Structure 1
Amino acid sequence: MLKPTAFTSKQKSLFISDSSSDNEELPDIFSKRNLGENEAKSKFDTGTKIAAEPEMKKKVVKKSATKLDKKVEDVEKAKRKAAQAELKALRPEESLKQMVCLVDPKVEAMVGCGVVGQLCEGSVASYQVTDGRFSCVKWRRKVELYGTDETSSVTMTTDVQDEPYVLLVLPCVDFLGIVSNRGSVTCNAWVEELKQSFPACQVHVVCFGMTKYRRKVKNNAQKNFRQQVLQNSEKVTKNTKKKPSFELTDFEIEELLVELQLTSGFKVIFVESSDELVLLIQQTTKSVAEAPYKRMKRNNVQFINDKASVKVDATTGHGSYNAWKQMLLQFHNLSPDMADAILKQYPSLSCIMSAYDGCNTAEGETLLADLVIRRGVGTIQSTRRVGPELSKRIYKMLTSKNGSETL
């Protein structure tokens, strides 16, 4: 068995140059045959480890970044679900289920029938009888609050809050006795007591039986007049029914109502029967239930246009005519025929602004008033004018420097 020969660097170079010239194969001096088996293994193992270490680090970093992105995505998804659930709870069809109407037993005794029983028939809201200081109707709402926890799951908590609305139900005689200062309590003291009992609440006074009271007063006045004419008081007094404790004319009642609304801010509602009272409570319950949703829609008003947006080329200006027409169509009660009449005279916004620059306020407000609008073709053709009101609104919109000015 031959032993491998060791070569010097000079001999290696000579050997390679000689063998290359003779087209002979070069010996694999780094193979296992020329190196020891352990030495060759250690060389190849060392190279593999050095190449694998950066790849492993990249994989670990990539996995951690993927996990972080997935966690953030789960949190955002949970937040969106919570917002959708909260919005669904505010919708009118769902909000009425969360309302609880609290009816005082004195209201039911005053009307003389099962008010709560009538309210519960075919209603989604809940109605309860609760005793209080005043004969009133109040409302409570079951509020559902949605959120997210550490596991990115949607959580729900319920709370109960009192609504700031009160219906105070009073018989007509008691109500008129208070506002005319003929009862046991003066009107000012009664108003202060209500404001202290229901702070930050909108109080609506429901007067029960005003028409019946006025009819009685009118009938008594006619009977008194007949008595004076016929001078037969005995016959009249036998047929007369029980008179009210005091009688007020229609003019006196109107004066008292105006004074009450100006001094207290209370709104007065008149009902004549138990059916009208039940209907009023049901309608008010629905309005109170939908109030948060309507407020949210008012606060989140967005500009909505039925037509697609118009693109204007910045270099050629193509599309500016359609954009100007679409701007005019945003005015209330401005039809496409009116817009075409204005565009025929002023084909661009800069044209009408130049015309406004040469006018004073009075001339500018009536600049478009006499423009003729043509509708239809042939025998059915009709004409009209833009008018001073619309002309004034367009002038204010384009020239006003006050953003809060009413058009």
Structure 2
Amino acid sequence: MSELARAHTWEISDSEAELEPETEGSTAGSGSAHSRTHSSQSPSARGKRRGDRERQREEKERQKERQREEKERWKREKEKQRERQKEEKRQKQKKKKEAAERVKSLKPEEYLKTITVNIHPVLLQDSGCDVLLSTLAALEWRNQIEEHDLTHSISWSRTQAVTLHTTEDEDSMVVEEDQVLMVVTQIEFVDMMMSIKQALIGGCEEAESLFQPLCGYLNRKTGAVISVLVTRGQYYQGRDLYYEEDETCPRSQLGLQNIDIEEVLVYLQLYKNVSVHFLFGWQEVTDHVCAVTKALSKRPSRTLQDIPDLGFCVDGLWSGGVRVESGGRGLAQVWTRQIQQLNRVSVSMATAVTTAYPSPQLLLQAYEKAESGEERCGLLADLRVKGGAKERRIGPELSTRVHRLMTSHNPELVLD
């Protein structure tokens, strides 16, 4: 018992007692060292964490700034794209408007406003020129009296704007048309014939006439298309008034042989490309001028419609024929085409016939009701043809050919 009690009393040996203060001292020393280490590292760690937070905040700010700049750039790009679309739309509308104005300017009624009829002052010496001037004034067509390169001439010029929006104050370009009319009296034409005959004979000096200025003008203006209008002048006034109701060809009034006239006409046509028309008076001259003026006004629109194909290669509606439906629609056009197949028959002439007689059966019935062959041949002669500067009739020649077409039983008969 005493041994056990003693063992219990000596729980800690001396060696352990000696070691205990050292252990405690070391423990305390380590604690103070840890405390010193902790106290020395804490400010730098806090600064590092503070720097990390600052950097993160700055990074976020920069990211937000980039996003804001990207958004602004996207808005600008979108605005530019919207502006480009608006500009493209404006350009399309502008081009469409200019094209519409260009097409409108080429219409005959609009194009006619830009044409000016130029009359040489020499023609005013003939009192019959008043008919032309009064007619142009009534039609409100632009005309002026001015010197021209060719005497006794009537020419045409048109005002061509540099741009579609050229105002009246701005300069515009004047273009000369290629059509020229030379109005001469019968006496002046006889003098021209004498000069031409002497030129054809050769070896002698040509007589002075209007043929010399005509040749000079043709040499300067190679592309000009000249037509000579031969009419009665002041020489015949008061002498041959019965000519006003005389339907004889005006060239028969020259008192020359037909062979001489034909020889001169062939020479002018082949060598000078000049056509000659014999007219009764200034009323026919006026009609001719009006016809040429209207033809010039239709030239631009017809040029746009022309197809550069060979003339003998039939294309379009003619090649395909006319479609006739079950209800009979299209038969009237077939009837018009049948008349139009005759030589020298225009659409307006064929339409005049088919309008008066809408079917071949009606025309045959009209032939049967006629009392004589002469009446049947001239049945269509007085039909009026619409279109053109001068109102005209079908005429006896076409009326006879249509009668042959409708009544002849000979397949070999030549209609023309």
**TM-score normalised by the chain length of structure 2:** 0.49
- 1:174 pairs, out of 161, 171, 188, with 188
The one-letter amino acid paired with 2:221 is F
Equivalent-residue separation in structure 2 for 1:273 and 1:88 (angstroms)? 37
Give a deviation string over 1:367-404, Cα, whole Å, max 9, x none.
xxxxxxxxxxxxxxxxxxxxxxxxxxxxxxxxxxxxxx
* 1:266 paired to 2:274: yes
Structure number with larger C-alpha Rg? 2
Unaligned runs of 5+ in 1: 1-33, 150-155, 220-243, 302-326, 338-407
Distance 1:39 1:261, change over 3 A: closer
* 1:331 paired to 2:347: no
Distance 1:36 1:259, change over 3 A: closer
Contact map agreement 2:232 2:281 (CA 8 A) in 1: yes
Residue matched to 2:304: 296
**TM-score normalised by the chain length of structure 1:** 0.50
* 1:130 paired to 2:146: yes
Q: 1:94: how far off?
A: 0.6
Structure 2 residue matching 1:163: 3-state secondary structure: strand
Number of residue-to-residue matches in the alignment: 245
Equivalent residues in 2 for 1:6-155, closer than 5 Å: 45-132=61-148, 134-146=151-163
Contact map agreement 2:118 2:143 (CA 8 A) in 1: yes
Q: 1:58: how far off?
A: 1.9
Equivalent-residue separation in structure 2 for 1:186 and 1:274 (angstroms)? 22
Give a deviation string over 1:301-352, Cα, whole Å, max 9, x none.
9xxxxxxxxxxxxxxxxxxxxxxxxx99862546569xxxxxxxxxxxxxxx
Distance 1:199 1:51, change over 3 A: same
* Greater fraction of residues in helix: 2
Equivalent-residue separation in structure 1 for 2:271 and 2:104 (angstroms)? 40
Give a deviation string over 1:1-48, Cα, whole Å, max 9, x none.
xxxxxxxxxxxxxxxxxxxxxxxxxxxxxxxxx999999976764553
Q: 1:171: how far off?
A: 0.9
Q: 1:111: how far off?
A: 4.8
Contact map agreement 1:102 1:137 (CA 8 A) in 2: yes
Q: 1:299: how far off?
A: 5.0
Equivalent residues in 2 for 1:292-371, closer than 5 Å: 292-298=300-306, 331=319, 333=321
Contact map agreement 2:188 2:209 (CA 8 A) in 1: no
Equivalent-residue separation in structure 2 for 1:135 and 1:336 (angstroms)? 54
Equivalent-residue separation in structure 2 for 1:188 and 1:36 (angstroms)? 109
* 1:249 paired to 2:272: no
Residue matched to 2:333: none
The one-letter amino acid paired with 1:135 is H
Equivalent-residue separation in structure 2 for 1:119 and 1:198 (angstroms)? 29
The one-letter amino acid paired with 2:182 is L
Structure 2 residue matching 1:272: 3-state secondary structure: coil
Give a deviation string over 1:73-109, Cα, whole Å, max 9, x none.
3233222222221221111011111111111122232
- 2:208 pairs, out of 146, 169, 185, with 185
Distance 1:328 1:201, change over 3 A: closer
Q: 1:266: how far off?
A: 0.5
Q: 1:141: how far off?
A: 0.5
Residue matched to 1:22: none
Distance 1:188 1:157, change over 3 A: closer
Q: Which moved more, 1:76-85 or 1:46-55?
A: 46-55
Equivalent-residue separation in structure 1 for 2:316 and 2:189 (angstroms)? 53
Equivalent-residue separation in structure 1 for 2:59 and 2:108 (angstroms)? 77
Residue matched to 2:407: none
Cα root mean square deviation, aligned: 4.1
Equivalent-residue separation in structure 2 for 1:299 and 1:129 (angstroms)? 38
Equivalent-residue separation in structure 2 for 1:196 and 1:328 (angstroms)? 41
Q: 1:170: how far off?
A: 0.8
Q: 1:269: how far off?
A: 1.7
